[in-house]
Structure 1
Amino acid sequence: MRVLDYLELEDRIRGGIVTATRQQRKALERADVDVIESPWVGDGPVDAAKSRLTGGRAFREYDVAHCNVVGPGSVAVARHAKRNDIPLVLHAHVTAEDFGESFRFTDRLAPALRPYLRWFYSQADLVLCPSEYTKGVLREYPVTTPIEPVTNGVDVDSLEGFEDLREETRERFDLEGMVVFCVGEVFERKGLTTFCEVAKETEYDFAWFGHYEEGAAAGEATRYWTNNPPENVTFTGWMDDKRAAFGAGDVYLFPTKDENQGIAALEAMACGKAVVLRDIPVFEEFFTDGEDCLKCETREEFVDALRRLEENPDLRERLGENAQETAAEHSLDRVGERLIEQYERLLEESHSGTP
């Protein structure tokens, strides 16, 4: 089986979609699936178009097409797949709900995105998404195509050696004591304002490891907090090695307002960190308050949770140990098994003529 696992504009985007796609590829390759990353003949769409104009092919050959974003290149792949009876899988990493409060103007664009996503995802033979929560969101659009939740997973191997980077990273960013941290793109939907307001009410060092926009694309909250951080908050900017973040931090604080799953939270759990989350619906599927995390709703609850963890190292250790067990349930082996199961079913239906 040869699978196209396509991430349009892969070299220009950051964040969870990139991580999720690369984890899919790694999971499939470990299961001996032949994976190609580009649909195009040549080096891209321009070469593909030239090939087509001279009587050649525009698209490479593959048995299943799996696209991870919603741009024009993915639309072209979808149309090609439908014309040639190639099973088409569209991965719903993007919803209108998690698009809002990200960058400048995304709040205004989010409502207009919903009908486009309904149209785009409805072309698929199968839509994959990271959670039952996301499946419910898509059904409300409504997307009527079959939808299957498949965890994004966590690449434990990519985190190996994080402990060795602890002292170096803490010294680099002047971090001491119980360090409260977050990892990933810095914007308001991820709970930026709550993160900073909680920091202002505590004495701990806070660090947000991740890229933030500084130009015209930056959201209002991002511009404000990165230019006026509380004294105990450090915004590190882009980290070349994510292991440094997980090595330096002690308590992972993730007051996000909306997620389809939350890969970085799983990575923190895989590192045995105590995790404090906002109590939102998607986390009900994966995490249990008081067992592998603490869940909070208000700023006061977040502050109280951090104080509890500082005062009770045994609680911090127990949550971290249980979190590692939770993360193990999202191994790449399981991701690969689920993906292959769905691909094989689609191929069987395609060959049998089943709609």
Structure 2
Amino acid sequence: MKLLLDPQAYNMQRFGGITRYHTEVLVELSKMGVSIECPVLFADNLHLKEHGLFQSQWSDVMRWRWLPKFVRKKIAKKFRRKNFKRTKEALKRQDYDVFVSTYYDPYFLDYIGDKPFVLTLHDMIHDLFPQYFTRDKNTVAWKKLLLEKATRVIAVSENSKRDALRIYPQLDPDKFDVVYLSQSIDTVSKVHVDLPQKFILFVGNRTIYKNFNFFIEAVAPLLKTDPDLFVVAAGGNGFEKDEADLLQKLGIAAQVIQQNFEDNELASYYGQAQCFVFPSEYEGFGIPVLEAMACGCPVVLAHHSSFPEVAGEAGVYFELHNADDLKDKVAQLLSDPALRADFSQKGLQRAAQFSWQKTAAGCLESYRKALAQKA
């Protein structure tokens, strides 16, 4: 089987869950002997660089690092346009078996002919929470079109599949394949990170549906009663004014620390935390949940969306939007070392059930189904 892998996600993301998923699956499929073409002339993507993929194709571009930033951005934009051009040319040649779309731009429909294509559905966040994406004029319509046109749809959770079928009941449920994701954290080669002795961990983007302010307001009473307790917000860049103002208002600014991190440092954050809180309103899957569990860090998260599928009995669940319940669940973990150890062990066992090998095998089965349907 030969796959043609669409480069659009690599045009969009320097790093992130979507390109992490496609890159890890690409690596595993290559080990299985699957032939893959990805017409990417240039991509400043950390996951591709991590695995050394397609580097020779843009080696000349990378020599331009000495140029001013605005010049490099202009050059990169030009080469990303060429990525699409090369993909269209590959589509026209028709010398592949299955086209794999990495995101929702339907540009390829004019060139694909009768070849099958497989779409990965990561979530229905734009459809369910349009108030958070008022500047995005395309994703909902594009996604709907591709869900209808796709030969097969890989959903990253049963919850994402259910949401899609509920919002678009005209879709054929039989063309959905649920394939869980995994995580790539290095739990062995931990590096030293300067962190408080006792802290609650929050990781990543803090905006909109990630519910950071709700989380802070919920745990503020715990910080105020224990001056040795901190919150560490890892990643997401420095606090915005409204976040800083909230911390001042709550009287906990000195106990809430924001630190960006390198990939090889993240395991140390999880490994040293008392617990990891993931208060997001909605996730298609939630890779950080697996990351934390793989590091033996107890996970506190809402019992909704895809979270019960990912964490299973290894999660400490609170009622969504119930700040008192979140505070109580975190307090229980903080006050009971035996309980923390129990959920740490449960998390390790749960995380071991997921792997990129399993993900790639599930994707390959979906690609084979797509090919058989068009035969």
- 2:144 alignment partner AA: R
- 2:360 alignment partner AA: G
**Whose helix fraction is larger, Structure 1's or Structure 2's?**
2
Q: Which residue does the alignment assign to 1:326?
A: 350
Distance of aligned partners of 1:49 and 1:22 in 2 relative to their CA distance in 1, 3 Å threshold: closer
2:37, 2:235 → 1: CA distance? Answer: 29
1:212, 1:99 → 2: CA distance? Answer: 27
Aligned counterpart for 2:314 among listed residues 288, 292, 314: 292
**Match runs of 1:78-227 below 5 Å:** 78-81=109-112, 83=113, 85-97=114-126, 100=129, 106-108=132-134, 113-142=139-168, 144-145=171-172, 146-155=175-184, 158-161=185-188, 164-165=190-191, 168-169=192-193, 171=194, 174-177=195-198, 179-203=199-223, 204-212=229-237, 223-225=241-243
- 1:236 alignment partner AA: Q
Aligned counterpart for 2:307 among listed residues 283, 289, 292: 283
Contact 2:275 2:299 in 1 (8 A): yes
Identity level (%) = 19
Q: How far did 1:150 drift?
A: 0.9
Q: How far did 1:251 drift?
A: 0.8
Distance of aligned partners of 1:64 and 1:213 in 2 relative to their CA distance in 1, 3 Å threshold: farther
Normalised by the length of structure 1, the TM-score is 0.79
Contact 1:68 1:92 in 2 (8 A): no
> Are 1:301 and 2:325 an aligned pair?
yes
1:19, 1:50 → 2: CA distance? Answer: 22
**Match runs of 1:1-16 below 5 Å:** 1-10=1-10, 12-13=12-13, 14-16=15-17
**Match runs of 1:20-59 below 5 Å:** 20-38=21-39, 44-46=80-82, 49=85
Contact 1:152 1:263 in 2 (8 A): yes
Distance of aligned partners of 1:160 and 1:285 in 2 relative to their CA distance in 1, 3 Å threshold: closer
Q: How far did 1:115 drift?
A: 3.8
**Is there any run of 5+ residues in structure 2 with no aligned partner, and where?**
43-56, 58-78, 224-228
**Is there any run of 5+ residues in structure 1 with no aligned partner, and where?**
215-221
- 1:151 alignment partner AA: Y
Aligned counterpart for 1:237 among listed residues 260, 263, 274: 260
> Are 1:65 and 2:65 an aligned pair?
no
Deviations 1:78-111 (A, max 9, x none): 4322x1x22201111242447848xxx7343579
2:161, 2:324 → 1: CA distance? Answer: 32
The total of aligned residue pairs comes to: 322
1:258, 1:193 → 2: CA distance? Answer: 15
Aligned counterpart for 2:369 among listed residues 339, 345, 354: 345
Distance of aligned partners of 1:258 and 1:48 in 2 relative to their CA distance in 1, 3 Å threshold: closer
